[in-house]
Amino acid sequence: MISSHGGRANNTRSFNLPQNITVKFFVTDGHDLSNDHSTEPNAWGIYNHLLPGLALPGNVSYINDRVVETVSPGQAVFNYSCWNMNDIGLQAQSGIYIVGGASVNALASPTTLHDVVTAINATKPTTIYWVACRSIM
């Protein structure tokens, strides 16, 4: 799971996902993912259902009901950027997490979806949940 600020420039290029990597998004390209608990989908609800893991009752259906786009292996995806949320006091919630596990990268500096995919180097099917905006900046 990537929990962060996110977006892309208008001229951002896309890349094809490698074998074994799927990316799931909760808003369409060009839109913000709200932090407001009263809106759906909202980043907090998604984050709080992914962090403890999908094995908990109801978590899979909660997440699947909020996914608006799935990009499968071999398909093109924009190379979105992500960066920490220190500016709004959410440093502890910013990072790259293993679903049901701990943070593996605190996003001390901005990175891109391509860099995350490359670092994962998945040898088995892996899903990246993009819990971030997809704004066009």
- DSSP assignment of 41-106: SBHHHHHHHHTT-TTSTTHHHHHHHH--EEE-TT-EEE--EEE--GGGT-GGG-EEE-TTS-EEE-
Domains in the chain: how many in total?
1
Chunked into runs of 10 residues, the chain (137 residues) has average pLDDT values of: 92 97 98 92 92 88 97 98 73 77 71 91 92 95
Over the stretch 51-85, which tens digit does the pLDDT of each residue have? 888 888 889 999 999 999 999 999 999 999 998 86
Q: Which domain holds residue 10?
A: 2-136
